[in-house]
Amino acid sequence: MKKLIAGAILLGASSMAFAQPGCGVGAMIWKGQSGIAPHVLAATTNGTFGNQTFGMTTGTLGCQTNEAVQSMAMYMDSNIDKVARDMSRGSGENLDTLAVLLGVEQGDRETFRKVLQDNFATIFPSADTTSGEAIDAIVGVLEQHEALSKYVAA
Amino acid sequence: MGQTLRLGLAVFWLALSANLYATDLDVPEDLYQDPDWLTLGHYQPGPLGRGYTSQADDDRFFLSPDGKHSPKAELEATLRAIQTPGDGDLHARCRFPARDAWLRERLGLPRSPVTCPAYDAWKRTLNTETVTLVFAASYLNSPSSMFGHTFLRLDPPQQDEQTNLLLASTISYAADAQAHDSELLFAYKGIFGGYPGITTVQPYYEKIRLYSDIEHRDLWEYTLNLTGPEVERLLAHAWEIQDKRFDYYFFDENCAYRLLALIDVARPGTRLLDEVGTHAIPSDTVRWVVDKGLVSRVYYRPSAATSVAYQIDQLPAPQQQLAAAIANGYVAPDAPEVRALPEPEQAAVLDATYDYVRYQSEAEGWPRGYAAPLSHRLLMARSRIHGAVPKDTPPTPPVRDDQGHDTFRLSLGTGQQDHREFLNLTLRPAYHDVLDPPAGYRPGAQLQFLRLDARVYTDNDELQLERLTAVEIRSLSPRDAFFSPLSWQVGFGARRTDTGQDRVLTPYLEGGAGGSWRLGGATQAFALATADLEIDDDLSRGYDAAPGADLGLLHQSDRLSLLAGVRTKAWLVSDQHRRDQLYLQGGWHLGRRFSLFAEFSRDHHFDRYQSLWHAGLHAYF
């Protein structure tokens, strides 16, 4: 149930992102680690240097405040590289996590994975794709699909 | 007027009755000394067993002004506060749900319902059914991470096997360092105190990103067998300490320590904190949790680095060369030589290459301008291959980190130094050296803390401190066509040095860097350039420095570890002689509790030769 709600809200936000240009673009894929090199001594003493991984999330959060969507946007922001990798392979836990967030039922998971793999080039058209663009494209692809459109339908 | 009076009377009566209620209760005189209460308040007995002090360093954690030092005053204040009518986020019952539940159960107070919007919402979001202790192992080529790190994962009810665990929340406790503090300051404050420790809640995928992808640490997930009510207690107490300040100390009051306290609260009588002596090394704390029978299941999650090394290893040699050629830009991901391969093999090459390019970008800083377009082409090519399931993931290591030898080592031996016989005693509180049983530890990694070597020379019964190693870190990581880690070492302390006339105890600082190459399964050859500095009155000019070199072979297996080589140091300032040494050291492992050791070295220094031999037994506790 929770997943369905999460999926529904995700859709809401994505449609909103279509409707409201300038909501933000999210993290760019393969943007590199930009200064998050491991601190040797920090690792030793098990400290945390502020929010080194948290809070890198960006503009996709700009146009809505719902928690479930934030976690989806944050998920893509932090894991866009891994989602892209799993999507190109048509399997993997990061792809499955997207399915969980969208509330895709077990029976549709196989189709979900295949459709996204087939549409990899649409979802990640360039090496500069952002998570916001990828989310919009995923919603677009699923909307076109007979069995999967219900997961992104209003 | 009359109404106000009546209202006033009512309030008065209410206050009085609450008060009466509290005093009427049959509270055992020594309830505040109940171990459960002391655990809930993080109280520790004072020195010499007098009084108590809470480890919490935050006024908001106490309801009594004397709470920090008086579990009794805190208990009375808590008892009064939870019986005060009302509810809402600021009520004591909502701020301290674990204390509330414990006192009510213990004293037979009615568990009247209470509304705590913030706490209830927090619990709903966490949606926890079981709790998993996650251990981040040490990472490749960084022995300083050897202590490991632990945090708790709160697992939702399982509907999708492993998958939605990425979205599960984690609770961790860490030093909240200032981002602008240097590493040295961090180390100093981390060890001697100075940073506040804070409890944070983050999604598991953020943790995976940090430990598995950025720091290259394998994760071990130990699912705890806590029951529903125990999980409830753990969450209630996590809520109580969340955002409260507990000063962080590297050796004992560290990440692992606070988690042990949470487990102690969850299952009263577990007494994990009693296991903590002078220090709580995270990997040791995992052992305690396993030994107390708290673990129902263990799952291994290899890091990105482990996975990529394994994937490359699985490729046949020609395909390894192809992967290297693609990664370095000599061959396009969709070039004919790639397409000529059967689809599953194409997929394996592309997968390994992509993961390698990502690893190099993270670890070696490959520029985005090169790595991103290449990554994109790799995935585009890969997305055209259907039905090729990615290669197996790395197998779970047969010996977990918590199953390796214990970290405290006591050694007894006998030997001869330049024809003088001696008995030797070594105490090493932590952690591992390359000649210890290697199972459960990273090959080629060494980390020793506060090691003390003392000798009694039998000819004149003279007791001598031979060496005090404050810190010694060594990392020998083999290089190959794909990975080129630096091998390095650093150490300081005090040791005996030969002045030509005498062996004097001298403070020293040493370091080295170089490379290592694998010769066979468990054998590597290394070459390091070294530098040594000694400072002491007994040296003719007060100090000495030596550039040098160390060439050797290291073999590590479950039965036998061997280290042999030659080293030379050119002492430039006081001594003005070169010291050449041939050394041979070995350990014969009898299980993980004991190891027989022997070493031999022959030195040429001050135009004379000297020999040392030394043999004995290591015991691990």
Q: How many Å lie between the alpha carbon of A20 and the closest alpha carbon of chain B?
A: 28
B73 to chain A nearest CA, in Å?
34
Dist. CA B172–CA B201, nearest whole Å: 7
What pLDDT shows up at residue A31?
79
* Chain A 80-99, residues with CB within 8 Å of chain B CB atoms: 81, 84-85, 87-94, 96-97, 99
Q: Indicate the pLDDT class of residue B190, thresholds 50, 70 and 90.
A: low
The pairing of strands B196-203 and B219-224 is: unpaired
User: What pLDDT, on a 0 to 100 scale, did the predictor assign at position A34?
Assistant: 41
Cα B102 from Cα B78, distance rounded (Å): 11
Amino acid present at B521: G
pLDDT over 60 (residue B587): yes
Helix (H, G, I), strand (E, B), or coil: what is residue B432? strand
Chain B residues within an 8 Å CB radius of A118: 383
Q: What is the mean pLDDT of residues A80-92?
A: 93
Q: How far apart are CA B13 and CA B361, in angstroms?
A: 71
pLDDT of B393 above 70: yes
Between chains, do B206 and A91 touch, taking CB under 8 Å as contact?
no
Q: Which residues in chain A are contacts of B255 at CB distance < 8 A?
A: 46
Average pLDDT over residues B162-188: 71
CA atoms within 13 A on the CB side of B379: 33
Q: A99 contacts in B (CB within 8 Å)?
A: 163
Tens digit of pLDDT for each residue in B413-423? Answer: 999 999 999 99
User: Domains of chain B: which residue ranges?
Assistant: 2-118, 127-301, 305-383, 404-620
pLDDT value for A70:
58
Structure tokens, B96: 């301290």
Lowest mean pLDDT among B145-149, B479-483, B615-619: B145-149
A124 touches chain B (CB under 8 A): yes
A105–B contact, CB cutoff 8 A? no
Nearest CA distance, B215 vs chain A (angstrom)? 6
Whats the size of chain A, residue-wise? 154
The tokens describing B596, both together, are: 């027989």
Dihedral angle sign, alpha carbons of residues B237, B133, B166, A36: positive
Q: What is the band of A50 on the pLDDT scale with cuts at 50, 70, 90? A: very low
Share of chain B above pLDDT 90, in %: 63
- Residues of chain B with pLDDT > 70, as a percent, come to 90
Look at B175 and A48 and tell me if their CB atoms are within 8 Å.
yes
B363: confidence class by pLDDT, cuts 50, 70, 90: confident
Closest CA to B522 of B600, B589, B428, B601: B589
Query: Within an 8 Å CB–CB cutoff, is residue A46 touching chain B?
Result: yes
pLDDT > 90? residue B466 = yes
Whether residue B94 is predicted with pLDDT greater than 90 in this model: the reply is yes
CA dist B109 to A12, A143, B103, Å?
A: 48, 57, 8
Within a domain: residue A47?
Answer: no
Q: Do B383 and A127 touch (CB under 8 A)?
A: no
Tokens of B241: 């300490």
How far away is chain B from the Cα of A21, in angstroms, using its nearest Cα?
26
Mean pLDDT of B362-377: 91
Q: What is the pLDDT of residues B245-297, one digit of tens each?
A: 888 776 667 778 888 999 999 999 888 988 887 677 788 889 999 999 999 99
CB-nearest to B166 from A2, A44, A97 is A97
Nearest to B190 among A31, A38, A47 (CB): A47
Q: Give me the residue label for tokens 């204040």.
A: B77
B493: how many CB neighbours lie within 10 A of its CB?
19
Inter-chain residue contact B382 with A91, CB threshold 8 Å = no
Question: Structural domain tally of chain A?
Answer: 1
Q: What is the largest CA-CA distance in chain A?
A: 53
Q: Report whether pLDDT(B218) > 60.
A: yes
Which one is predicted more confidently, B245 or B556?
B556
Average the pLDDT over B146-164 and give the result.
76
Separation of alpha carbons B199 and B343, rounded Å: 48
Supply φ then ψ for residue B243, to 5 degrees.
65, 5
Residue B201 — pLDDT band, cuts 50, 70, 90?
confident
> Does residue A33 form part of some domain?
no
Question: Which of B383, B442, B447, B473 should we substitute to test contact with A (largest number of A Cβ atoms within 10 Å)?
Answer: B383
pLDDT value at B346 more than 90: yes
Choose from B125, B164, B357 for mutation: most chain A CBs within 10 A: B164
**Mean pLDDT calculated for residue range B138-147:** 64
Q: How far apart are CA B414 and CA B529, in angstroms?
A: 31
The confidence score (pLDDT) of residue B41 equals: 94
- H/E segment holding residue B620: strand B608-620
- Suggest the residue from B160, B192, B257, B486 to mutate for an interface test with chain A (most A CBs closer than 10 A): B160
Residue A74 lies inside a defined structural domain of this protein: yes
Residue B146: its pLDDT value, please? 66
Degrees to nearest 5, angle at CA B613 with B610 and B618:
150
Percent of the residues in chain A that have a pLDDT greater than 70, as a whole number: 54
Chain mean pLDDT for chain B: 88
Q: Which amino acid is at B577?
A: H
Which amino acid makes up residue A139? V
Q: Are B427 and B410 in contact (CB under 8 A)?
A: yes
Average pLDDT over residues B240-247: 86
The C-alpha torsion from B322 through B327 and B329 to B333, rounded to 10°, is 70
State the residue range of the domain holding A7: 2-20+63-151
- The answer to whether residues B202 and B180 touch, using CB atoms and an 8 Å cutoff, is no
- Can you give the pLDDT at residue A12? 33
DSSP A60-129: GGGG---HHHHHHHHHHHHHHHHHHHHHHHT--HHHHHHHHHHT--HHHHHHHHHHHHHTHHHHS-STT-
CB contact under 8 A, B214 and A50: no
Q: What is the DSSP string of B439-487?
A: TTS-TTEEEEEEEEEEEEETTTTEEEEEEEEEEEEEE--EE-SS--PPE
Give me the pLDDT at residue B143, please: 57
pTM: 0.84
Largest Cα–Cα separation, chain B: 109
State which residue of chain A sits closest to B149, comparing Cα positions.
Answer: A46
In-domain check, residue A77: yes
Closest residue, chain B, to A129 (C-alpha): B376
pLDDT computed for residue B341 by the predictor: 95
* Structure confidence at residue B199 as a pLDDT band (50, 70, 90): confident
**For B318-339, what is the mean pLDDT?**
95
**pLDDT for res B100:** 95
Chain A residues with beta carbon closer than 8 angstroms to that of B391: none
Burial of B106 (0-12, 13-18, 19+ CB in 10 A): middle
Would residue A37 count as lying in a domain? Answer: no
Residue A48 binned pLDDT confidence (cut-offs 50, 70, 90): very low
pLDDT per residue as tens digits for the range B79-90: 999 999 988 999
Residue B367 has pLDDT above 50, yes or no: yes
Among B566, B503, B575, smallest CA distance to B530 is for: B566
**pLDDT exceeds 70 at position B214:** yes
Q: Report the pLDDT value the prediction gives residue A137, as an integer from 0 to 100.
A: 87
Domain B404-620 belongs to what architecture?
Beta Barrel (2.40)
CA-nearest residue to A87 within chain B is B383
**CB within 8 Å: A48 and B174:** yes
Q: Do B209 and A45 touch (CB under 8 A)?
A: no
Burial of B212 per CB tally in 10 Å (0-12, 13-18, 19+): buried
Cis preceding-peptide flag for B431 (omega within 30 of 0): yes
Domain membership of residue A40 (yes or no) is no
For residue A81, give the chain B residue with the closest CA: B358
B474 with B446: CB under 8 angstroms?
yes
Is the confidence at residue B65, as pLDDT, over 50? Answer: yes
Chain B interface mutation, best of A1, A3, A34, A48, highest count of B Cβ atoms under 10 Å: A48
Closest CA to B185 of B466, B101, B193: B193
Does residue B22 register a pLDDT over 60?
Answer: no
At B564, the amino acid letter reads: A
Whether residue A48 is contained in a domain is answered as no
Whether residue B370 has pLDDT greater than 90: yes
| Residue A114 belongs to some domain of the structure | yes
- From A32, A53, A87, residue closest to B368, measured CB to CB: A32
Contact B205, B167 (CB under 8 A): yes
Which member of A29, A39, A90 has the closest CB to residue B183? A39
